Amino acid sequence: MKTQTSSDGTIKTKFNEGHSTILIPRSALLDKNKPTPQFPTAFTLCLSSQIGCPMGCTFCLSGKIPYQRNLTLKELKEQIETTIKHISIEDLRTKQNTKGKNNLSDHITSIVFMGMGEPLLNLDNILKFCEWLNEEYNYSFAKICLSTSGIPKKMQEIINYKYPIQLALSLHSPRQEIRNQIMPNLKQYPIKDLIEVCHEYNKKYKQKIMIEYLMIKDLTDTDEDLQNLINYKLAKYTNFNLIPLNGSPSTVDRKPSTPERTEFFKEKLREAGYKCFIRTSTGQDIEAACGMLK
Ligand code: SF4
């Protein structure tokens, strides 16, 4: 196991099997320009679900690694236990918090499956893991987010699940031909079916689905794309997360949208009644940002 810390305070733990866990200080997510506190105490934790990823998205380095297998329940738990060790060390140093394990959510304000792998292909283990987190650490299901590349049947299982788990859909383009190009292994799932499931999720839960949207210059940021997103008429406050394309080696042939264009999308989506944020990229210098895990 190897641990690296970014200049913005993000901590990447790479396990010997090849998957990684990313611990991101909330302060780095909120304002990257402000210095990270020496001992941050609140984090978002990004977990992996598989070793390699069979989905092969062209903008993601994890998709270039040959898929090996799902992580076991033991390995999923190990990602938490390793993280707790990091945080406990900081607690001892600062003497700010000695409350113990039942207050995991004081430190880890959200857990997101946005690391290596497609979590809905390892759903049985992940749901067992969520139940374990809830029993062992009193950690709320609503603070856990599963980010999927879009498998409608599996998304439906989350909607039917007995507890409210957050769901994020990596849509990245509302045009089928472009989505097929950048997410070639998802061709069998038409966008219209994915949007249908988003409507269903939004009907069931107060907290709306998150739509993750990669901003790629002239490919996903056209006026037509923006209008298509608005035309879906998703529920008010559906949460759009615009992700500037990272300059990872897998994406050198493409450019990110300009900051002005990304800001324009944000404003227009907000005017349409959605929530919309631009994702702050953290941990780029240690290859821990979105799409850079390999
Ligand atoms: S974006 Fe997600 S689903 Fe696509 S290849 Fe990367 S890890 Fe897999």
pLDDT of 26 reads: 80
pLDDT of 38 reads: 59
Name the more confident of 133 and 89: 133
CB of residue 55 inside a 6 A radius of ligand 1: yes
Assign residue 117 a region: left if phi > 0, alpha if psi is -120 to 50, beta otherwise? left
pLDDT of 250 reads: 55
User: Residue 43 is encoded by which pair of tokens?
Assistant: 């984090």
- At 106-116, the pLDDT tens digits run 889 999 999 99
pLDDT of 96 reads: 47
- At 223-243, the pLDDT tens digits run 999 999 999 999 999 999 999
Instruction: Please classify residue 197 by burial: count the beta carbons closer than 10 Å to its beta carbon, then call 0-12 exposed, 13-18 middle and 19+ buried.
Output: buried
CB of residue 149 inside a 6 A radius of ligand 1: yes
CB of residue 146 inside a 6 A radius of ligand 1: no
Taking the CA of residue 118 as reference, the ligand 1 atom at the shortest distance is 3
List, in order of start, the domains of the chain with CATH numbers: 2-286 (3.20.20.70)
pLDDT of 179 reads: 97
pLDDT exceeds cutoff 50 at 101: no
pLDDT exceeds cutoff 60 at 290: yes
CB of residue 212 inside a 6 A radius of ligand 1: no
CB of residue 60 inside a 6 A radius of ligand 1: yes
CB of residue 119 inside a 6 A radius of ligand 1: no
Question: What separation in Å is there between the alpha carbon of 30 and the centre of ligand 1?
Answer: 25
Question: What separation in Å is there between the alpha carbon of 238 and the centre of ligand 1?
Answer: 22
Name the more confident of 170 and 251: 170
Taking the CA of residue 115 as reference, the ligand 1 atom at the shortest distance is 7
pLDDT exceeds cutoff 50 at 258: yes
Note whether 282 and 31 are within 8 A (CB).
no
CB of residue 269 inside a 6 A radius of ligand 1: no
The residues with which 45 forms a beta bridge, in sequence order, are 23, 111
Note whether 2 and 14 are within 8 A (CB).
yes
Tell if the pTM clears 0.85, that is, is over it. Answer: yes
pLDDT of 281 reads: 75
The set of long-range contacts for 193-196, using a CB threshold of 8 Å and a minimum separation of 24, is 193/152, 194/150, 194/152, 194/155, 194/169, 195/232, 195/234, 196/152
Question: What separation in Å is there between the alpha carbon of 185 and the centre of ligand 1?
Answer: 10
What distances in angstroms separate CA 172 from CA 57, 58, 212, 215, one per listed residue?
A: 11, 12, 7, 8
**Over the range 256-273, which residues count as b (16 or more CB within 10 Å of their CB) and which as e?**
bbeeebbeebbebbeebe
**CA distance linking residue 103 with residue 138, whole number of Å:** 8
Taking the CA of residue 63 as reference, the ligand 1 atom at the shortest distance is 5
